[in-house]
Chain A
Amino acid sequence: MSIEESALAAIADVPGVQGALLVAVEDGLVIAEMVREGFDAAAAAALSASLWGRMRRAAVAGGQRPPRFLQLEAEHGAVLVVPVDEVVLAVAVTTERTHRGVLRLRLLDLGGKGAG
């Protein structure tokens, strides 16, 4: 199992997660993925990178440094994003009321590894 695969497996293993992705920040393209059947990884990558970019700009406009964690909560699930480093995002998409706390910690752990 590659480093990317083992990193994504830790996220994809959380119950309720439909897809775990590594995404190029600038391009919104999938670098690596571990997704359930029928999950549109390309759409999730493009959209989450775009959302990340917008929220990042908002944070900077608010006089802050870029965020290290983002969570979009929706009616039927959530999207969670952390920057692994300056060019890669880790993304998790869940369509169930899964345990967000565990997912958040695993993603932040991945972010910490990238930053370090």
Chain B
Amino acid sequence: MKRSIEPWVAGPLDRFVAESGARVVLLMTSAGQVVAQHGFTRALDVMSAAALGAGIMASTSELGQVIGGEHFGALVHQGTELGVYLSPLPMPDAQWIGLVVFGRDTSIGLVQLFFGQLVSALAGAAPVRETRPVLAENFEADLDASLRALFGD
């Protein structure tokens, strides 16, 4: 199951999923607002994963500051059956985050390779527009609408 709030994200995301063999993908803003997802079946899981992913990235960034201003890149957690790849996703007018869950049928090398291509594709596909959040500023008010867009009614 794949849904995206921004329609221009769908094509690059589809290609990434097909090439990398990723099982679950979540693209979000650095504040944890969901932009697109693939593979989740429950809205609650999406929102939890987005919040946790954004929190991990924020914590890591803070840790980098504490130890001397180091900017960390992607994080990888490799389990027995599944791995998680969490990476900054620089966009022209914002910093997004990508969270990818992959199995043993692919590899972190392939995920990284095609994530790099996803970053380029999204940067190229992003419409030029005035600076504004991906979702409306009032996140709470738009949450229901976002969930409907991501999962349907």
Contacts and interface: CB of A to CB of B under 8 A. Distances in A.
Contacts of B136: none
Interface residues of B, number: 8
Nearest to A26: B107
Contacts of A42: 109, 112-113
A27 B109 CA distance: 6
Interface residues of A, number: 14
A52 to B, nearest CB: 11
Contact of B113 (A23, A26, A46): A46
B108 A27 contact: yes
**Chain A binding surface, main DSSP class:** helix
Contacts of A46: 107, 109-110, 112-113
Interface string A37-81: 000001101110110010000000000000000000000000000
Contacts of B110: 28, 46-47, 50
B61 interface: no
A45 B84 CA distance: 20
Interface of A: 23-24, 26-29, 42-43, 45-47, 49-50, 53
Interface of B: 78, 106-110, 112-113
Q: Which 10 A-B pairs have the closest CB atoms?
A: A28-B109, A46-B109, A28-B107, A46-B113, A46-B110, A27-B108, A29-B109, A43-B113, A27-B107, A27-B109
